[in-house]
Amino acid sequence: MYIARLDLRDFRNLTTQTVSFSPHVNVVTGDNAQGKSNLLEAVFYFGGGKSFRARREQELIRFGAAAAALTAHIVSGRRAQTLEARFSAGARRVLFANGVKLSSPRELVGRLPCVFFGPEDLDIVRAGAASRRRFLDLALCQLRPRYLTALSEYVRLYGHKTRLLRDSRPGTALPDALPVFNSRLAAAGAALTRYRMDFAARVTPAAAALHGAISGGREALSLRYVTHGGLGPDDPEEALAAGLLALMEERAEAERAAARCLVGPHRDDIELLLDGVPMRAFGSQGQSRTAALALKLAERDIFREELGEPPVLLLDDVLSELDGRRQDFILHRLEGGQVIITCCEPGRTTGLPEGKNLLVEAGRVTADDDGSGNR
Ligand code: ATP
Ligand code: MG
């Protein structure tokens, strides 16, 4: 599946225009701050049903404009589809598929799956646990509608429970509503944990093989999903829910003292081991980057297996950050499937299979046929 065309209106700094893409490799060049990442963000919107970087949807509307819109023309197998997102100041965004309004972002799931890889992902191994949870969330929200539902439910309940804890004074009785929030949080949390543990288990062999291939086979990468003690990778979802609930009850006073939720998958992590040694503490810069690359390419392989076709691969400015060997590795794995790569220097991606060169200048995207960066 691929995006053939994208109609843009007042999205970020991008001007009102239509951009056509090749189903193969698209190389997007341009100076800093011209709109290259914004273009990838627009495409990813239909994969993840949200931005990979904006905290507020309103940020997506061009400064000074009242509304923005994106329309993606997708081809999947032989079927053509249109997906549309409309943003307006002060209102929630509205999504459409083939002209029909969607009642939930869940209905976008699977229509244009995207794997995004940007400079911040190169630090996924060394950064805090949040970046690794985000890796799992961005992938699972696109593969499993039920995951997306559980995640939004979890985030909503988490906010309510945090307010409840903040408003309740130590020394008084625990809030009456707490048991209800705890059991619903435990149920949603168990669903998230179960999916994440399964996904981490699936990533392990794929990422290990990729890591071996990139590094020349000398080191063995493995992943371990780390959750609260006592809960394990073989526990069924009901057992995880019961375990989380028991921990919440046990730690109720501590949660109130801290005025935040201390139990649940928002505290989980993936531990990455290289030859059995934790990478976060001991991995070199190069080893960490290789592992990050292996995780992302493993995600793409799993999507491909799961969907029967490769997802759209969005590579934002990563090539310039990688050495020649790792660049070659990525570029040689691009076959089959649509890829949109951004980079600052034209010519960096010469020798790629058939594709298209695009140039972004001050929010305007033009075809750059000879890939020279000159028009
Ligand atoms: P780099 O090579 O540095 O990564 P880039 O081409 O990827 O640059 P973008 O991140 O796409 O650049 O951003 C381009 C510009 O878009 C920035 O200067 C930013 O100020 C601007 N911008 C972001 N959001 C909006 C908005 N809502 N309205 C107008 N401009 C915006
Ligand atoms: Mg950028």
Closest atom of ligand 1 relative to the 31 alpha carbon: 2
Mean pLDDT across 22-44: 95
Phi, psi dihedrals of residue 15, rounded to the nearest 5°: -80, 170
Taking the CA of residue 34 as reference, the ligand 1 atom at the shortest distance is 6
Question: Atom 20, ligand 1: which residue's CA is nearest?
Answer: 33
If pLDDT is split at 50, 70 and 90, which confidence band does 347 have?
Answer: low
Show the ligand 1 pocket: residues with CB < 6 angstroms.
12-13, 30, 32-38, 59, 61-63, 317, 344, 360
Give residue 19 CA to ligand 1 midpoint distance, Å: 17
pLDDT digits (tens, 9 = 90+) for 272-303: 999 999 999 898 888 899 999 999 999 999 99
d(CA 107, CA 262): 32
* Dist. CA 317 → ligand 2 center (Å): 7
Work out the pLDDT band at 375, boundaries 50, 70, 90: very low
Q: CA 93, CA 353: separation in Å to the nearest integer?
A: 37
Determine the Cα–Cα distance for residues 149 and 17; give it in Å rounded to an integer: 34
The distance of Cα 345 from the centroid of its chain, to the nearest Å, equals: 26
Q: Which CATH superfamily is 1-113+311-375 part of?
A: P-loop containing nucleotide triphosphate hydrolases (3.40.50.300)
Of 16, 27, 34, the residue with max ligand 1 atoms within 8 A of its CB, to mutate for a pocket test, comes to 34
What ranges do the domains of the chain cover?
A: 1-113+311-375, 123-305
Secondary structure (3-state) at 313? strand
The Å distance, Cα 36 to ligand 2 centre, comes to 5
Look-up of token digits 């100076």: 31
At residue 15, does pLDDT exceed 50? yes
Q: Taken in order 235, 241, 243, 244, is the CA torsion positive or negative? A: positive
Backbone dihedral angles phi then psi of residue 360, each to the nearest 5 degrees = -115, 125
CB contact at 8 A, 71 and 84: yes
Q: CATH homologous superfamily for 123-305?
A: RecF/RecN/SMC, N-terminal domain (1.20.1050.90)
Q: Is the pLDDT of residue 348 over 70?
A: no
- The whole-number average pLDDT for the span 116-124 is 91
Q: Distance between CA 216 and CA 277 in Å, rounded?
A: 19
Distance 54 CA to ligand 2 centre (A): 13
Nearest CA to ligand 1 atom 4: 32
The answer to whether 164 and 177 have CB atoms below 8 angstroms apart is yes
Edge to edge, the sheet with strand 25-29 lists 114-117, 312-316, 339-343, 25-29, 355-361, 364-367
Is the pLDDT at 80 greater than 80? The verdict is: yes
- With bands split at pLDDT 50, 70 and 90, how would you rate the model's confidence at 54? confident
User: With contact defined as beta carbons under 8 Å apart, do 8 and 356 qualify?
Assistant: no
Length of the chain: 375
Question: Rounded to the nearest whole angstrom, what is the distance from the C-alpha of residue 33 to the centroid of ligand 1?
Answer: 5
Q: Minimum-distance ligand to the CA of 362?
A: 1
pLDDT at 265 over 80: yes
pLDDT tens digits along 185-217: 999 999 999 999 999 999 999 999 999 998 887
Nearest bound ligand to the CA of residue 87: 1
The two tokens of residue 181 are 């929030």
3-state helix, strand, coil in the chain (%, to 5): 45, 20, 35
Which of 9, 36, 70 should be mutated for ligand 1, with most atoms under 8 A from CB? Answer: 36
Q: How confident is the model at residue 74 (pLDDT cuts 50, 70, 90)?
A: very high
- Pick from 235, 222, 219: nearest CA to 271: 222
